[in-house]
Structure 1
Amino acid sequence: MLDWLGFGSHDHAASSHGHHNHGSGPHGHTHGVVDATIATTDRGIWAIKWSFVILAITAVLQMVVVVLSSSVALLADTIHNIGDATTAIPLWIAFMLARRKPSPTFTYGLGRVEDFAGIVIVLIILFSAIVAGYQAIDRLINPQVVTHLGWLTAAGIVGFLGNEAVAVFRIRVGREINSAALVADGYHARTDGLTSLAVVLGALGVWLGFPLADPIVGLLITIAIFGIVWQSARAVLTRMLDGVEPGVIGEIHHAAQHVAGARIVDAKARWIGHRLHADIAIAADETLPLSEANKITTALEDELFEHMPALAAANIRFSAGHEQHALPPSHGHGEHDGHKH
């Protein structure tokens, strides 16, 4: 199962020790057979492809009803669905580029293109919000009669079902391959599904004799889209600035507690696309022979990959420094670090 998700093969980088292979447990794989990135990006491309198909069909069906009913709420929802389908394009390009092997120029590969795709997605969502908002405000100023309320209700329900299906695809696969862009896009689709249900409320308001219910719902949908822009932008920019979730560093320290002699003095981590890379310094015991030191780094690698399935590379080194270094609060004690990074 780990191999299928792309987490069974790792690029270990324990500097100066040369351990690139696990001989036991769930990580007993030989490197160079199947590149983990290909497995995960194939999975990502599969999710994107089906998301695009579902949303494209949903948008076409809704557009037909927009023409029939003149509903600006449904128009806003349709614009959003078109924008959501369009986001499949930068994601697909990013996943394809991520499959390329590292080069002398791009020594870590092109995984960061995925973060750039996330920014493009945020801009697409922002554009759809501006267009939908303009249409809703214009309809409030210049009201029009909304017709075909039955079809309008059906279109709202279709929009909800289509977006929920896409949300399930993107969130599930995004979590499997640890892609912030894909997960963000999935939550965007889920919220879009809820805005589709708002179209139904607008149709009900018009049916009850309140014609402004339609543009008001359109405006509420616009506000919801702006909320998605803010949330998605925060998540993607955090990754682009080498930010990690608070629990990542804590998990590195937790893994080290299972290895005798692996006293961490510094730990850093960053995401490159959907692959986590860690740089770890452990306290050096100068009395240890090289063979024992190698056993410690190998054991720590095993524990790290056991505890962190999204980890792609662990660069472990020894530190002989004596400066105080704070650990995460959950560990409640200090260690030492004498390296500049």
Structure 2
Amino acid sequence: MSHDHNHAPAGFSKAFAIGIALNLVFVGVEAFYGWTVNSLALLADAGHNLSDVAGLVLAWGGVLAGRLQPNPRHTYGWKKGSILAAFANALLLLVAMGALGWEAMGRLTSPDVSTGHEGATVMAVAGVGILINSATALLFMRGRDTDLNIRGAFLHMAADALVSAGVVVAGALTLWMGWHWLDPVVSLLIAAVIVWGTWSLFKQSLHLLFDGVPDDIDPQAVHDYLAELDGVQAVHDLHIWALDTTQTAMTAHLVMPTWRQDDLFLKGIADSLHERFEITHSTIQIVREPFTTPCRSWGTKK
């Protein structure tokens, strides 16, 4: 059998530590000014931003869980932790946007006519929020396309930067033009945009939790590559699944009635699977006669 153990975890621990620290400070600032000016909006947003800290902690926990060493009871370790964290982050974002939409609908029916000092304070603190959330999102920008868990952290912080920007713009126009309906309308639009962007993360992470084939891998192409190998009569029991948000595993039975190869043949397959499909853990079993019922009818090599 061939089993490739080439790992390349990205180091985002410093980014998580900085992001959590920045957001905890911001929550403290919001809570202080919310209490000082008696602003329920700021106090509520402080509670919302505390959920950002929870989201970052979840994502960091997923990264750290993936670094735990395998043992006889968890032979792959705790790598699924990063997928679970990505799913939890997506779910948290969707719930937060649902709460934002509910609040916005309430304000459309009963407009908040607060103006003056409180409104200016809310805008000023939201402006700081844009900076904090944008800076935190930038910490995770380089990993958002290659790691679903890091993408979850990035989306969470980018979404809150967008919400804070909406608060500033809507607040300024409301103070200037007296359009009290604008704030809830902008909130609903922002919530819709964020839900649209988060839905893909939710679906992908849920798909991987149930051992689905990662979206960037074509299982038929993997089967065809294996089936075209010299001496292979059929491919049985091909399984492809995500170990975590960056590593993919695969197992397969190759029916080879006249197999006389050595380990170099298996090593070549493992190397090709890694290079062509980014499959980092491959286990190949050679059989001369099939002895299991195929899990899927892939067909046989012609």
TM category, shorter? 0.7 to 0.9
Q: Is contact 1:188–1:228 with CA below 8 Å preserved after alignment? A: no
CA distance in 2, matches of 1:174, 1:314: 25
Paired residues, number: 291
**Residue 64 of structure 2: aligned partner:** 96
Give the superposition deviation at 1:245. 3.1
SS at match of 1:118: helix
Report the CA distance shift for 1:157/1:143 in structure 2 as closer, same or farther (over 3 A).
closer
Amino acid at match of 2:270: E
Report the CA distance shift for 1:63/1:130 in structure 2 as closer, same or farther (over 3 A).
farther
1:282 is aligned to 2:250: no
Report the CA distance shift for 1:77/1:226 in structure 2 as closer, same or farther (over 3 A).
farther
Give percent identity, aligned residues only.
22
SS at match of 1:146: coil
Gapped runs of 5+ residues in structure 2?
none
1:272 is aligned to 2:243: yes
1:145 is aligned to 2:117: no
Give deviations 1:310-331, integer Å, cap 9, x for gaps.
x3310112355599954xxxxx
Q: Is contact 1:276–1:313 with CA below 8 Å preserved after alignment? A: yes
SS at match of 1:143: coil
TM-score (norm. length: structure 1): 0.68
Deviates more, 1:207-216 or 1:58-67: 58-67
SS at match of 1:299: helix
**Residue 184 of structure 2: aligned partner:** 215
**Residue 9 of structure 1: aligned partner:** none
CA distance in 1, matches of 2:221, 2:231: 17
Give the superposition deviation at 1:270. 0.6
Note the 1:121-136 alignment, pairs <5 A.
121-136=89-104
Give the superposition deviation at 1:255. 6.3
TM-score (norm. length: structure 2): 0.76
Deviates more, 1:107-116 or 1:246-255: 246-255
* 1:191 aligned residue (126, 145, 159): 159
CA distance in 2, matches of 1:20, 1:120: 30
Amino acid at match of 1:237: L
Q: Is contact 2:228–2:301 with CA below 8 Å preserved after alignment? A: no
**Residue 329 of structure 1: aligned partner:** none
Gapped runs of 5+ residues in structure 1?
1-12, 22-26, 28-35, 327-333
SS at match of 1:335: coil
CA distance in 2, matches of 1:260, 1:76: 65
Amino acid at match of 1:304: L
Give the superposition deviation at 1:305. 2.1
Give deviations 1:223-254, integer Å, cap 9, x for gaps.
45554564432122111011123431366358
Report the CA distance shift for 1:60/1:258 in structure 2 as closer, same or farther (over 3 A).
farther
Amino acid at match of 1:302: D
**Residue 300 of structure 2: aligned partner:** 335
Give the superposition deviation at 1:303. 1.4
**Residue 143 of structure 2: aligned partner:** 173
SS at match of 2:116: coil
Report the CA distance shift for 1:211/1:174 in structure 2 as closer, same or farther (over 3 A).
closer
Q: Is contact 1:265–1:325 with CA below 8 Å preserved after alignment? A: no
**Residue 331 of structure 1: aligned partner:** none
Give deviations 1:82-138, integer Å, cap 9, x for gaps.
312211222333333322222222222111233333343344334433543454444
